[in-house]
Structure 1
Amino acid sequence: MSIGRSVTRLRFAILWLGLLLAANLSFGQGAGDGIPSDEGQVAAGAELFDANCSSCHAVHEQVVGPALKAVYERRDVKWIQNFVKYPKKVIDSGDEYAKALYEQYQQYMPNQAVSDEEILSILAYVKAETIAGPKVAEVATDPAAGDAAVAGAEQAVSTNLLIGIIIGLGVILVIVLVVLLMLINVLTKYLNQQKDLSSDDAAYVNQKFDLSAVFKSQIFVGFASFVFIIVVAKATIDGLFSIGVQQGYAPEQPIAFSHKLHAGYYEIDCKYCHTGVEKSKNANIPSANICMNCHSQVRTESEEIQKIYAAIENNQPIQWVRIHNLPDLAYFNHQQHVKVGGVECETCHGDIKEMEIVQQHSLLTMGWCIDCHRKTDVNTKGNEYYDRLVELHESTAKEPMKVENIGGLECAKCHY
């Protein structure tokens, strides 16, 4: 009887141990801190982080605000969700941790219009990045950048080669002239030593070189006229082709905004300010409200920032000067190029991150656009719309499908 009871108790013990292990495993898989760990949530969190947080925060280093590495270990999830949505309210409530943050950074974080679920996704991304550790800087391997570097090197080589050829021809010409003068001098001395020269021959041999006669000769006048006409014609044609081309145009703006500081040093994504670039024909100039997301607390005493305050108080838009202008007869869609084509901003606008004052980097002429359409591969990855086109193209060609292969050179694409 005692043996039966012992077996029964042992069975109950094993059953409870199994239940405890199952519970422990279930909590471990769901992350005891409540933060999801699946790849979908992490990817969604990365997008939300880039759109809402990256202008002021990074995971492994301080930017405008503190580094977010392991922030879920310093505060619980509920506190973080409340603070992200209502930071000033939490600080004013007397929360010691929030007050310490404000005293350290001397600025309020703007209220973020995100849900608790979206904050969980952001925390999932932060946790994944925390575990992965800081990324080691790598040498850029962008094919476009490589092609640009190769093109630049080839252009430099061709330019140096041309200069070398011109200098070489000039040296050869000088040597030939010196040799001819020496020959003339030797022949003159030789002929003067001849005793049977007639008076006419002697006068011809000893005649002095008349430089003015050379300039008055028909051959020289004709050659000089030809060169002059060629130079004038070339300058006229170059002038005609440059009409409407504003490459290098860098107007003074009403507010001294530095892209080098914002896009370069603080790494603010272009799409954070130019919100229409992925969903509209125009990239749009940011409103003063976007500026105030940061500058309601940052550098409020600056004279340039005061101009933003004045524009808001007077309910007047800031009169930014447009830099990149296309003629009305040309149609260009930012969404098509940036969202669908995957074209980087720097491709057309240059290295904006290094521009203190933005200027027009590219020609933006029809020839420049056509050349790009002839060289650029169509971004077909993950887009089923192009599957059949790629199949047909690969059946007749070995090179990747270019923009020109899908109608990129048709007039009606840009002019209609």
Structure 2
Amino acid sequence: MLSKRSLVGVRWNFHTLAVLFFFLIGTQVFAADPAVSESEEAISAGKTVFNANCKTCHKLDQKAVGPALRGITDRQSIEWAKRFIVNSQEVIASGDDYANDLYEEYGNLQMPPHTFLTDTDLDNLLSYIEYGDKVDPAAEASAGGEGGEVSGGGGGIPTEYLTIIVVVLVIVLLLILIVLGLIISVLTKYINKQDLPEDDKEFVSQKFDIGKVLKSDGFIIIVTAIVIALVAKTAIDGLYGVGIQQGYAPTQPIAYSHALHAGTLEIECQYCHTGVEIGKSANIPSANICMNCHTHVQNVEGKEGISPEIQKIYDAVDNNKPIEWVRVHNLPDLAYFNHSQHVKVGEIECQTCHGPIEEMEVVYQHSSLTMGWCIDCHRQTEIAADGNEYYDKLVQLHSDSKDALKVKDIGGLECAKCHY
């Protein structure tokens, strides 16, 4: 038989254990991984982190240099994902099976540590990975077709159609000449059968003499005028072409492919050309920027050793000598151009001036970069003022006009803007 004191002790211990049990259960519930945020702010901030640190090697929904990232919090816990992002080698060295399988699957490529990312950065990054930039497969298929190619919708007539049109016009002109010749022949025969005065008969019956035409003063004057006009046009075109290097594509010391890096891998221009949003010049990237990726990527997939072109980057770093890139786009000293004003403030895409850079194996000067070319752009380009505080007062001053605010309306045609 239990005494009253023993019974109280048992009850107290039971209640203590029950409270402790429910406390532990509650702790586990509240300590479980929080769900990844779906807020627009978190996704937007995460996209910035992704573009700055991950986009070079990863895509959300398909494999690239590394695995597709979407769904990582379904495959592993959020805490695991954060630890792997911060220092993947530490997770691999711990013997984690999933981490080691990934490491082997992707050719033992080491992901650089991201110890500088804060916990908020990591949360936002995971929000973007799970919920950012989702593409509807049906919409993607309808836009790209079965082959995945986006159909071109731009204006203009294809070159082959223009050739067909010209050929058809030439044929039509020849048919008109033949018909006119037949009409003249029929009319001449009909008139000759009529009772005409001798002078008229002689005029109608006269033969076409090509020799007299070639020797006539009118023909000589016309030919001379055409020759002079062609020579003058050629000379003027040559003068206007002085200093224009459109199409210039120099051989670079390293065979760098923009089609691979900017196109296939979708590396942002700003990653290499660091000054494009903050200064006058876009900056030619140093070898150290190249080494951010090529410390780990040393050859094309499936090949051993360091490729000859990547070896040139290593040599430049080892010898502490810059890579002597050949400048492609070069304005005269009398012209002032500021990249940050156009790219950051004006929100102008790089392709507007540099053409389809993401398709170029060898970079060339796409646009003429002449004064007339710049002025035409300033006359036609509308100001991207929505949400841009830089233009608030200018928009207010222009509010009475019904026309869209363009660069020419804010001094874009003033000489001192470019020639200071």
The TM-score by the shorter chain falls in which range? 0.7 to 0.9
Q: Which residue of 2 aligns with 1:75?
A: 76
Query: 1:167 Cα shift?
Result: 6.2
Structure 1: which 5+ residue stretches go unaligned? 1-15, 141-145
**1:54 Cα deviation (Å)?**
1.2
CA RMSD of aligned residues (A): 3.7
Distance 2:162 2:263 in 1: 33
TM-score of the aligned structures, taking structure 1 as reference length: 0.78
Counterpart-to-counterpart distance in 1, 2:200 and 2:132: 98
CA shift, 1:174, in A, is 5.5
Aligned match for 1:319, one of 324, 327, 331: 324
1: CA distance between counterparts of 2:351 and 2:69? 29
**Distance in 2 of aligned mates of 1:352 and 1:113:** 33
Q: Report the CA distance between 1:99 and its aligned residue.
A: 2.1
| Cα displacement (A) at 1:403 | 0.7
Of 84-93 and 366-375, the range deviating more from structure 2: 84-93
Structure-2 separation of matches of 1:113 and 1:35: 20
Q: Which is worse superposed, 90-99 or 166-175? A: 166-175
The separation in 2 between residues aligned to 1:91 and 1:361, in whole angstroms, is 47
Q: Work out whether 1:338 is the aligned partner of 2:343.
A: yes
Distance 1:414 1:296, change over 3 A: same
Amino acid at match of 1:255: I
1:122 equivalent in structure 2: 125
Task: Specify the alignment match of 1:112 in structure 2.
Answer: 114
Give the direction of change, closer, same or farther, for the CA distance of 1:65–1:147 in structure 2 (3 Å limit).
closer
Tell me, in whole angstroms, the C-alpha distance in 2 between the residues paired with 1:318 and 1:400. Answer: 45
CA distance in 1, matches of 2:61, 2:160: 40
Q: TM-score normalized by structure 2?
A: 0.78
CA distance in 1, matches of 2:126, 2:162: 53
Tell me how far 1:92 sits from its aligned partner. Answer: 3.7
CA contact (8 A) 2:47 2:132 kept: no
After TM superposition, give the deviation of residue 74 of structure 1 in Å: 3.3
Q: Provide the C-alpha distance between the structure 2 equivalents of 1:338 and 1:313, rounded to a whole number of angstroms.
A: 34
Equivalent pair of 2:383/2:407 in contact (CA under 8 Å)? yes
In structure 2, how many angstroms separate the alpha carbons of the residues matched to 1:409 and 1:148? 32
Distance 1:205 1:74 in 2: 97
Deviations 1:8-55 (A, max 9, x none): xxxxxxxx9xx99xx89x959xx8436444432222111111111111
- The question of whether the paired residues in 1 share the 8 Å contact of 2:82 and 2:122 is answered with yes
How far off is 1:164 after superposition? 6.3
Q: Which residue of 2 aligns with 1:283?
A: 282
Bigger Cα displacement from structure 2, 268-277 vs 338-347? 268-277
Q: CA deviation at 1:371?
A: 0.8
Call closer, same or farther: CA 1:312–1:149 in 2, change over 3 Å.
Answer: same
In the alignment, which residue of structure 1 is the partner of 2:370?
A: 365
Query: Shift in Å at residue 78 of structure 1?
Result: 3.9
- Determine if contact 1:81/1:116 at 8 Å carries over to the other structure: no
Partner Cα separation in structure 1 for residue 288 and residue 115 of structure 2:
15
In the alignment, structure 1 residue 355 sits paired with structure 2 residue 360: yes
Q: Deviations over 1:103-144 (max 9, x none)?
A: 1101111223532321222112223239x676642749xxxx
Separation of aligned partners in 1, 2:115 and 2:177:
76
| Alpha-carbon separation, structure 2, partners of 1:411 and 1:250 | 30
Of residues 161-170 and 72-81 in structure 1, the stretch that sits farther from structure 2 once superposed is: 161-170
Residue in 2 that maps onto 1:6: none
Aligned residues: 382
Q: Give the match for residue 102 of structure 1.
A: 103
Bigger drift between 306-315 and 404-413 goes to: 306-315
CA contact (8 A) 1:60 1:134 kept: no
Match of 1:52 in 2: 53
Amino acid across the alignment from 2:126: L
Q: What's the secondary structure of 1:103's corresponding residue? A: helix
Per-residue deviation, 1:296: 1.9
Q: Give the distance between the partners of 2:306 and 2:285, measured in 1 at CA.
A: 21
For 2:159 and 2:379, locate their aligned partners in 1 and report how far apart those are by CA, in whole Å.
20
Shift of 1:181: 6.1
CA distance in 1: counterparts of 2:267 and 2:294, whole angstroms: 14
Residue 336 of structure 1: how far off its partner (Å)? 0.8
Distance 1:133 1:215 in 2: 71
Deviation at 1:344, TM superposition (A): 0.9
Q: 1:102 to 1:157 in 2, by over 3 A?
A: closer
**Residue of structure 2 equivalent to 1:66:** 67
User: For the Cα contact (< 8 Å) 1:33–1:76, is it kept in 2?
Assistant: no
Identity within the alignment, %: 48
What displacement does 1:166 show?
A: 6.6
User: Which residue number in structure 1 is paired with residue 405 of structure 2?
Assistant: 401
